[in-house]
Structure 1
Amino acid sequence: PEEARTIASWDRDLDALTGELLRARESVTDVPLPASLTASQLLRLAADPDGFAQDLARPMPRPPQPAARRGTRFHAWVEARFEELRLPMLEPEELPGSDAEIADERDLETLKTAFERTPYAHRTPYRVEAPFQLAIAGRVVRGRIDAVYKEEGDGEAPTTYEIVDWKTNRTRTADPLQLALYRLAWAEQHDIPLESVQAAFLYVRSGEIARPENLPDRAALERLLLEEPPEGVPDEPPDQHARVDG
């Protein structure tokens, strides 16, 4: 009888713990999205809405990232290289580079040398680190375009622009959605037909230039960013809240 009472107490504990776990898994927390997002945040929202919502719900301090700082220095070096254009120089904290994979100072110098071998080292950009704000999917998206090149039209040929984003990472994993956002922002900000703006990633290490085809326009971007919530999640206007399970 005593063993039976002990086993019964274990059963009660297990039932209580199981119930608590099930209730925790069934709970849903509304996480308000900021009214203004960076381009990187919008890309994360499109690629991993659950992970992005978790980050918003439980923000964690980021440890120091020397590689990111070196990435920022690379962007600053490219900007300074064209200083004769008298373009506004930016403060280091205004420059991108958080996704850089630059191991050390020697690696940074290797990247600079690699950039000098690319066709863009011998072309003068129309703008570098060009800021933009784009209202899309119910939010204002902010960002900076690494470089814009302008090709003047002649005769019947229109003037065209090329958006270029420097990539210093070691893998060819850049999301074309980033170029689509930049392309749309530049076209709308300067009242240019979207078809007159091209976009490319320059993978600096290899010198490879990637020009994704069929980049989405505004309507396609909004459809992508305002996807219906997954089955089983109550409907909610996606431009108002992200959702976190648990």
Structure 2
Amino acid sequence: APAPEAEETAPEDQRQVASWDRDLTALLGELERSRRTARDVPLPAALSATQLLRLAADPDGFAHELARPMPRPPQPAARRGTRFHAWVQSRIEPLLLVEPGALPGADDDGIEDEQDLERLKEAFLRTPYARRKPHRVEVPFQLVLAGRVVRGRIDAVYREDDALSESGGASRYEVVDWKTHREETADPLQLAVYRLAWAEHAGVDPEQVTASFLYVRSGRIVRPAGLPDRKELERLLIGNSDY
């Protein structure tokens, strides 16, 4: 049997169907955009050392943080971390006045309460660094890598060869970062940045600078081998300049 002829659609109905089509197209487009897994997020021209570590450890997570920054609530442990760093510094420079927030590298140090802070002070006094006089403490730096500025602060720098210096030999240094977390899992990339920053500040070859983590709770000293050099650090930034 022949197919029945289609009924002619009234102009008003045609306009209604066309509006439905436009709405459907818009909704489908919005759904597609919401499901996109890739978005270009430009890397800032200036980074903190902590942000650089975050970029290296989790580029996607860092990109999400840049795209949708979330405010961080005040953390009592962060204030106690600042007080620990200030206490170490005051033992070396008793007359130094440390303002709140002046030690940006001392935040979120996993210090639970006032008793825990006192335990950390006692633990530090049992380490070799409590008996050594540092060359510099709480050293701020700005390091230019691949056209971007990386800012940070080195907890302490020790000069290792006073005897060599007196005889005209090359100076050697040790940069040290205090770690007060219970987990001893610090990223050696942090020390790579600190080592390069101090070497360029002091005008010495990075090979003349060693770098150490002091895990204050246990007293363990870790000196990672094979730290990345300037080229490797710049490659990290260039590879993640727009992601």
Output the TM-score relative to the length of structure 1: 0.81
In structure 2, distance between residues paired with 1:43 and 1:50:
13
Residue 210 of structure 1 and its aligned partner are, at CA, apart by 0.3
Structure 1 residues 70-109: aligned runs within 5 Å: 70-84=80-94, 89-95=97-103, 96-109=105-118
* Structure 1 residue 210 corresponds to structure 2 residue 222: yes
User: Which residue of structure 2 aligns with residue 126 of structure 1?
Assistant: 135
Indicate the structure (1 or 2) with the bigger Cα radius of gyration.
2
Residue 92 of structure 1 and its aligned partner are, at CA, apart by 2.4
User: Which residue of structure 2 aligns with residue 10 of structure 1?
Assistant: none
- 2:47 is paired with a residue whose SS is strand
User: Which residue of structure 2 aligns with residue 138 of structure 1?
Assistant: 147
Q: Which has the larger displacement, 135-144 or 112-121?
A: 135-144
2:181 to 164, 169, 173: 169
Cα displacement string for residues 135-192 of structure 1 (whole angstroms, at most 9, x for unaligned residues): 0032101111000001224247522100000000000110000000000010011211
Residue 47 of structure 1 and its aligned partner are, at CA, apart by 1.2
Long gaps (5+) in structure 1: 1-14, 230-237
Structure 1 residues 29-68: aligned runs within 5 Å: 29-68=39-78
What is the letter of the counterpart of residue 210 of structure 2? Q
Residue 194 of structure 1 and its aligned partner are, at CA, apart by 1.0
Long gaps (5+) in structure 2: 1-24
Preserved contact between residue 78 and residue 108 of structure 2 (Cα < 8 Å): yes
Taking only aligned residues, the RMSD between alpha carbons, in angstroms, comes to: 2.4
Residue 64 of structure 1 and its aligned partner are, at CA, apart by 1.3
In structure 2, distance between residues paired with 1:27 and 1:215:
33
- 2:234 is paired with a residue whose SS is helix
- 2:151 is paired with a residue whose SS is strand
Residue 17 of structure 1 and its aligned partner are, at CA, apart by 7.7
| Structure with greater proportional strand content | 1
In structure 2, distance between residues paired with 1:207 and 1:50:
34
* Structure 1 residue 225 corresponds to structure 2 residue 233: no
User: Which residue of structure 2 aligns with residue 112 of structure 1?
Assistant: 121
Preserved contact between residue 177 and residue 212 of structure 2 (Cα < 8 Å): yes
Residue 19 of structure 1 and its aligned partner are, at CA, apart by 7.0
Preserved contact between residue 75 and residue 108 of structure 2 (Cα < 8 Å): no
- 2:40 is paired with a residue whose SS is strand
Change (3 A) 1:37 1:89: farther
Q: Indicate the structure whose relative CO is greater, using CA pairs within 8 Å and at least 6 residues apart.
A: 1
* Structure 1 residue 69 corresponds to structure 2 residue 79: yes
- 2:51 is paired with a residue whose SS is helix
Output the TM-score relative to the length of structure 2: 0.82
What is the letter of the counterpart of residue 122 of structure 1? R
Aligned length: 218
Change (3 A) 1:177 1:44: same
Residue 218 of structure 1 and its aligned partner are, at CA, apart by 0.6
